[in-house]
Structure 1
Amino acid sequence: MIVVLIIACEVGFWVLLALGLALRYLAKMPRTGAAVLLMEPLLELVLLIVTAIDLKNGAPADWKHGLAAVYIGFTVAYGHYTIKWVDGHFAHRFAGGPPPAKPGYGMARVKHEGKLWLRTVVMAVVACGLLQAAIWYVGAGGDTTSLREWQGTSLKIVSIHGLIALSYLVWQKKDPRGRTAVPEEAARPEQKTLR
């Protein structure tokens, strides 16, 4: 049931995102669109509650509960970023907004990749915190091996993403047009997006 709920939360995320942006830009109802987008965190709250209830009802702590914790951590770290990214593209495509900024080259790209890595660190911290809470909840009498393995997996994800981010510093990609990189914030005019 937990896996089905994780899939339902992911599908629900994209459905709410599409509906919110359609209301905001196509139906010209920005407040209603924003209200729909603000419902996104409720999906993760439902997943968290159902996972806790599942453990409370005596379900053995296994990979599904670990996956739920990592999914919630990912949503906390990358959810707002994803909404903002899609909002920028949607505004450009359907509402005449400016083209979304690209990460750029050189140090601008290094900075962008470093920020993404920090999001992954946040994901791991949230996931490991939820997993540790589940381990304490299950207690010494239950098998928490799977939950501890997911904590290790979260740390491996941070390490691998850190190496990838570092590779952008070591092997900086140069602008093929020979121009100096412009910081992401200055690359586009001010645009009203979700904050």
Structure 2
Amino acid sequence: MSLVAWMIVACEIAFWCVILLGLVVRYVFKKDKLGYFLLCLVPVIDLALLIFAGYDLLSGAVSTKAHGIAAVYIGVSLAFGKSMIQWADERFQYYIMKQGPAPVKRYGLDYAKHYLKGWLKHVLAYLIGAGLLAALIYFIQDPARTESLSAILKLWSVVLGIDLIITVTYFLFPKTEKAKS
């Protein structure tokens, strides 16, 4: 596994550790400002990954799937980061601290609208990640060195299209609540 791939793994672990630490400090130790500060460090992790992967490529490395996935990771983290933190926050309060309302279970049109919002965030993540990939491809100016970046971009375009199809199906065939036994 390449150094960039290990950096992605380290950033993903750091992402969830910082979130968990922020939530523990915020709710267990009742230090709201410190907890908020820790949660605000999440984008710094993305910035570190961006700098590392960009420097590696601009220093002459041939792009790998890991470099492409780094751009995807950054796009997803920036687009979904706030909602992922909110998701973790709600569940931490409810399941760990035994406070607050139960996480909402969505069905029907409500679920479809919620999924559509998620798809729009996916579009934002795509625009960010694709922009990073396109910028790297442009600055490197060597198709042989950026072939894997182009492949990731094409694959992600297909995934975004599939996600749109799934989104539309939730409007056509709304998700129903499972029968209680």
Give TM-score, length-normalised by structure 1.
Answer: 0.85
Cα shift readout 1:89-126 (whole Å, capped 9, x = no counterpart): 11123051111222x22211110110111111111111
Aligned-residue Cα RMSD (Å) equals 1.5
Residue of 116, 135, 141 corresponding to 1:133: 135
Residue of 66, 69, 72 corresponding to 1:67: 69
Residue of 134, 146, 149 corresponding to 1:147: 149
In structure 2, the partner of 1:98 is 101
Quickly say closer, same or farther: Cα 1:174–1:58, change in 2 above 3 A: closer
In structure 1, the partner of 2:31 is 29
**What displacement does 1:56 show?**
2.0
Q: Distance in 1 between matches of 2:160 and 2:36?
A: 32
Q: Distance in 1 between matches of 2:132 and 2:46?
A: 12
Q: Distance in 2 between matches of 1:166 and 1:21?
A: 35
In structure 1, the partner of 2:120 is 118
Quickly say closer, same or farther: Cα 1:58–1:113, change in 2 above 3 A: same
Q: Distance in 1 between matches of 2:87 and 2:41?
A: 18
In structure 2, the partner of 1:11 is 13
Paired residues in the alignment total 176
CA contact (8 A) 1:61 1:138 kept: no
Quickly say closer, same or farther: Cα 1:97–1:149, change in 2 above 3 A: same
Quickly say closer, same or farther: Cα 1:141–1:163, change in 2 above 3 A: closer
Q: Point out where structure 1 has 5 or more consecutive residues left out of the alignment.
A: 178-195
Quickly say closer, same or farther: Cα 1:47–1:107, change in 2 above 3 A: same
| One-letter code aligned to 2:141 | G
Q: Point out where structure 2 has 5 or more consecutive residues left out of the alignment.
A: none
Q: Distance in 1 between matches of 2:48 and 2:177?
A: 45
**What displacement does 1:153 show?**
1.3
Deviates more, 1:86-95 or 1:136-145: 136-145
Q: Distance in 2 between matches of 1:141 and 1:13?
A: 32
Identity of aligned residues (%): 35
| One-letter code aligned to 1:83 | I
